[in-house]
Chain A
Amino acid sequence: MDQTRNNSTAEIETTVLGADEIILNMGPQHPSTHGVLRVKLKLDGERVAASECIIGYLHRGVEKIAEHRSYQQFAPYVDRMDYVAAVSNGLGYCEAVEKLLGAEAPPRARVVRTILTELQRIASHLVWLGTHALDIGALTPLFYCFREREEILKIFEKYCGARLTTHAFRIGGLQYETYDGFEEEVKRFCEDFSKRIEEYETLLTENRIWLGRTKGVGILNAADAIALGVSGPVLRASGVKWDIRKAAPYAAYDQYKFEIPVGKNGDTYDRYIVRMEEMRQSRLICLQAIENIPTGAIMARIGKVLKPPPGEVYHAIEAPKGELGYYIVSDGTTQPYRVRVRPPSFINLQAFDKMARGSLVADVVAIIGTIDIVLGEVDR
């Protein structure tokens, strides 16, 4: 990596001082490791010489549980992986099983799924923004973000009775019809939301301190990002235009116009800008979808007992954090033979060492925040 970089972080040459290296354990109980991530840092002064992520504190054997549950029974479990974006997890699983069955959800169900999933993407990004800003020391955006997230959670609660682990979708479509006033509420939220994004951006986007803390921090170039299998906003911020919603459309995404925001430098600031823009695009998708929800059935005819034919299937969706894939092997019984989840957080976290090496301790929290991990999903 013999490169020059316009980076103010590298100015203090701690190696010259020849200070002893110390090992600093961040976590598993630490305010800014977003749960129970443990990061072992080898510090040279305040500079990170090497790092290692130690995971597994939240391992619950979700994939193993699947082998002892019927296909429907396992559906609520997937919500507990990325609990910040439970609706997206449910969508991925339901569509994967539908693919295995050779069934397809009716058009109305697909559009409602798209709306709820996009709202969930906004909610997930709001949690990311709030906590990321908090890690960098800005207290206020967290509360603004949670104020808007509350509105989304209220919509979820009205729709399916749950706020966080929603189990909003069923294999084959939807369990519930939308409630009266669903369209108006989503529309009102989306219309208000553009002003709200402006509000967050006034606090952060052009703030000198924010720029200083995020620009040039945790750089991940496109080649490394692809080699590490990184996906989602982290990949796009490195300049790779890859979004499964466009590349292999699922649900009803082929019907709507939206842009894929792409970054240039692959630093923390670009990831911030990409996610902010994604929230705007999600809002536009919701507004397009809400205008024209098809009428008709919400559930495909798939029968009560699901016995998919023997075989295997991989289905991936663009979850808020990246490519969320389900690889399901069926042996023809009512229970899956094996379910393997490709969680975006787990794979994105592999890029941590690449981003953190050579940066300062203070940047480590910014980098953990910018990857946007949820430990429930990393450890499963």
Chain B
Amino acid sequence: MPFGIEFDDIRQYIAPVIYALVIVAVLPLMAGYIVLLERKVMAHMQARMGPMRVGPHGLLQPIADAVKLLLKEDITPKNADALMFWLAPLLSVTMALLAYAALPFGPAFQIADLDVGLLFILAISSLGIYGIVLGGWASNSHYSLLGALRSAAQLVSYETAAGLALVSGLLLGGTLSMKGLVEAQDSQGVWFIFVAPFSFFIYLIASIAETNRAPFDLPEAESELVAGYMTEYSGFRWSLYFLAEYANMIVVSGIAVTLFLGGWMRPLSGVHAHIFGLPYELLDLLPALIFFGLAAWCTKLALRQGEQIQKMVMFLFVGLFVVLGAAMAWSLTSTSLMPGIHGAFWFIVKVLVYLYGFLWFRFTFPRYRFDQLMKLGWQFLIPLALVNLVMIGIGIVLAQQFLWPLSLAMIAANVVTLIVAFWLVRQGDKPSIVVLPAEDELPAAGPGEIR
């Protein structure tokens, strides 16, 4: 080869660059469509239609929103710290995107398989809090400041619980490499959610809290703090915060999927069923069938569209799904490409399922109050995570040293954790008696007295 470039060099240096470009290019679009999905899911749960105007069934809404946000005036408040005000959203979005470097979308599709992948992601996504705190501080507004402070406190508290939950996954996998964790689940033949359900449960709650989503969306609690740390932001900078939030959601989902839900592995990857003497496994046909089904459904919808342009847009989506389905079907014939493409498919499907959980919580639950949020974090999740970690450790020791079957050891460990969980809930329900300050200690307020 010319210039002394070898094929291995390309694999090593060029491929990650291409992956990175793909992620940076596709992610904003994906975030936009997750917003559309969120609005649609919310609408259907609330007996309404959601966006219907821009494109058929609102399919072009994310693009319209993006254009609107880019064209909007970008206001910097007069008393804001201009440099920090400019820097904060950039920091937020950079940290969110950096975390993708170690996230394995498939056995091949990973920018860098770091030895300390999980630690790297955790570290980077924790840095994102600087964007929020600096933004809230630089805005020079009470609402922003309160929102930022809440955010910082919340992130620090829940990071602990999330970290402890992840450690039990590490114990089971025996590695910090994101790729290695999936391979460990593959070789042990079981997703870690079934071995350590409490770890998954704790991480689920903590990850919602970490991404500031409802019911833990206090930093941007609309009814109290208007828009929290984002109150003074508008236009492009506001959309950067928005992008960072959704990117972070995908990151935490990615971690959960990698650690607990088998990463890029197909569901029932141990089952090898063939039909009609086809050389392909039944379940491997599923991705292609799903896309063709979606294409058929879109065709049906397209025929119903009244206007020509709407019809065209809908057929565009039909085309997209047909191409994706064909890619899925074609990749079956190639043993070298199949794991990569199908792996990415399953990974994204699992991430979407996890994200759907996020949305579902958001539309179902009221919002926690700040002290309740802290109480849940420190008095329930962290003790539970600690107990869970110890029990998982004991379970592993039982399985490895005393040669118990893994399933039996883990059932025993989890039952103990369950009992502790119940005990903690009971403890939390016990009212703690607090003496309020006598009334005359509180300042009196008559009309016009508060200045």
Contact = CB atoms under 8 A, between A and B. Distances in A.
A11 B435 contact: no
Interface string A45-61: 01001111000000000
B142 A22 contact: yes
B367 A42 contact: no
Interface string B210-245: 000011011001111010000000000000000000
Interface string B408-451: 00000000000000000000000111111111001111011111
Interface in A132-154: 133-140, 142-144, 147
A302 interface: no
B439 A139 contact: no
A35 B214 CA distance: 25
Interface stretch (B174-182, B194-202, B251-259, B358-366): B358-366
B282 to A, nearest CB: 39
Given A1-B438, A3-B436, A139-B46, A210 B366 contact: yes
A363 B221 CA distance: 12
Contacts of B442: 49-50, 357-358
B53 interface: no
B31 to A, nearest CB: 20
Interface in B343-384: 362-372, 375
B218 to A, nearest CB: 8
B275 interface: no
A9 interface: yes
A52 B447 contact: yes
Given A50-B442, A50-B444, A361-B224, A137 B365 contact: yes
Contacts of A363: 369
A126 B310 CA distance: 38
B450 A358 contact: no
B370 A204 contact: no
Contacts of A358: 436-437, 442
B47 A147 contact: yes
Contact of B439 (A1, A134, A137, A209): A1
B52 interface: no
A51 B447 CA distance: 10
Interface in A356-370: 357-358, 360-365
B443 A42 contact: yes
A361 B370 CA distance: 9
A12 interface: yes
B63 interface: no
Contact of B450 (A15, A30, A50, A365): A50
Nearest to B363: A140
Contacts of B450: 23, 40, 42, 50-52
Given A10-B436, A136-B223, A144-B47, A46 B431 contact: no
Contact of B215 (A12, A52, A209, A357): A209
B372 A4 contact: no
Interface string A1-36: 111111111111001000000111000001110000
A118 to B, nearest CB: 24
A4 B435 contact: yes
Contacts of B375: 8, 11
B87 interface: no
B27 interface: no
A241 interface: no
A203 interface: yes
Contacts of A7: 431, 434, 436
B283 to A, nearest CB: 35
A5 B436 contact: yes
B67 interface: no
Given A11-B371, A212-B372, A362-B224, A143 B449 contact: no
Interface string A200-241: 000110010110110000000000000000000000000000
A372 to B, nearest CB: 15
A76 B366 CA distance: 38
B298 interface: no
A310 to B, nearest CB: 37
B367 A136 contact: yes
Contacts of B447: 52
Contacts of B370: 46, 360, 362
A1 B438 CA distance: 5
A8 B432 contact: yes
Contacts of B42: 139
B226 A31 contact: yes
Contacts of B214: 137, 139
Contacts of B78: none
B11 interface: no
Contact of B367 (A12, A22, A137, A144): A137
Interface residues of A, number: 54
A10 B363 CA distance: 29
B164 to A, nearest CB: 23
Given A32-B224, A353-B445, A362-B221, A140 B367 contact: no
B436 to A, nearest CB: 6
A100 to B, nearest CB: 35
B442 to A, nearest CB: 6
A51 B47 contact: no
B309 interface: no
A83 B443 CA distance: 36
B45 interface: yes
Contacts of B223: 31-32, 134-137, 365
A5 B221 contact: no
B43 to A, nearest CB: 9
Interface in B138-160: 142, 146
Q: Which of B223, B439, B445 has the most CB of A within 10 A?
A: B223
Contacts of A139: 42, 46, 214, 362-363
B438 to A, nearest CB: 5
A15 B434 CA distance: 14
A365 B368 CA distance: 13
A12 B449 CA distance: 26
B366 A136 contact: yes
B250 to A, nearest CB: 22
B142 A6 contact: no
A77 to B, nearest CB: 28
B48 interface: yes
A140 B450 CA distance: 37
A20 B142 CA distance: 13
Contact of B226 (A8, A9, A30): A30
Contacts of B217: 137
Given A1-B438, A49-B442, A49-B443, A138 B366 contact: yes
A4 B433 CA distance: 7
B314 to A, nearest CB: 27
A204 B364 CA distance: 9
A6 B431 CA distance: 6
A140 B46 contact: yes
Given A136-B366, A209-B215, 5 more contacts: A32-B224, A40-B450, A137-B366, A357-B442, A362-B218
* 3 tightest Cβ-Cβ pairs between the two chains A and B: A137-B367, A50-B445, A143-B46
8 contacts: A5-B433, A5-B436, A6-B432, A10-B436, A32-B223, A137-B215, A138-B366, A138-B367
